Amino acid sequence: MRAMNSMLMAILSSVLISLLSVLIALLFRWHKGGSKIQLLVLVGVATGALLGDAFLHLIPESSEFFEGSEIGLWVIGGMMIFFGLEKLLQWRHCHNPDCHQGHKLAEVSMVADTVHNFIDGLIIGGSFLAGRELGISTAIAILIHEIPQEIGDFAILLHSGYDFKKALKMNLWSSLASLVGVVLIMVFKESLSLKNYLMPLTAGGFIYLAASDLIPELHRHEAKLKESLGQLVAVLFGVAVMYFLL
């Protein structure tokens, strides 16, 4: 019964995060994508949420299954996996159409986003197998990270010449790849101790995304002192959300 509840919660979380792409697209059209300052605040919150989930939830939880430096090696392994994916797919979690200048914007964006969403599904499924609380906190971290990500993806599709309906449909199908990841984890949960290894690997992936993608995005835009303090507060808020979910 517990395993069934975990599976249902993981699937529900994946579907809700996937539907977020539709909501973000509608808000994007209504609000013209929001201001650059608002978007950077969201990036800041996502940074804090990813780091908070990695250091406050995933790594401490992994200490039950690994000893000494083993956790560190698996965390580094997660970072290297995401680094390799970025290299193979020219993957950049871009929040701005200009990030892909010189490439086929829509194709690169959709392939990268589909793989990204599939991995999110693996992470969500593995986290819920490890425990309901860990699953919820990880799903929230992914959800927060998806907000600026989906805005960037949708902007790239429109920038590449797709009309609103076509861009909306492509973004939705790409988002549903996370559901495939969840189902795959649940199918193989009995034969593989996936959850034990996914936690430190996920932590490494979250640290990599925050350090190599989101934080540089915050630095990439010149900001006044007030705006920089606002970004710092946003990062701390993201960490606080994860802390209070302990």
Q: What is the pLDDT of residues 209-234, one digit of tens each?
A: 888 888 888 887 666 778 888 889 98
Q: Residue with structure tokens 């560190």?
A: 72
Q: Is 111 helix (H, G, I), strand (E, B) or coil?
A: helix
- CB-based contacts of 168: which residues, under 8 Å, 6+ apart? 22, 25, 154
> pLDDT tens-digit profile of 80-120?
988 887 777 665 555 554 554 444 556 666 776 787 788 88
Orientation angle between helical segments 70-89 and 194-209, nearest 10 degrees: 60
CA angle centred on 14, ends 9 and 18, rounded to 5°: 150
Range name among 21-35, 76-90, 196-210 with the lowest pLDDT average: 21-35
As a whole number of angstroms, the distance between CA 74 and CA 199 comes to 9
Please state whether the predicted TM-score (pTM) of the whole model is above 0.85: no
Judge contact between 181 and 125, C-beta under 8 A. Answer: yes
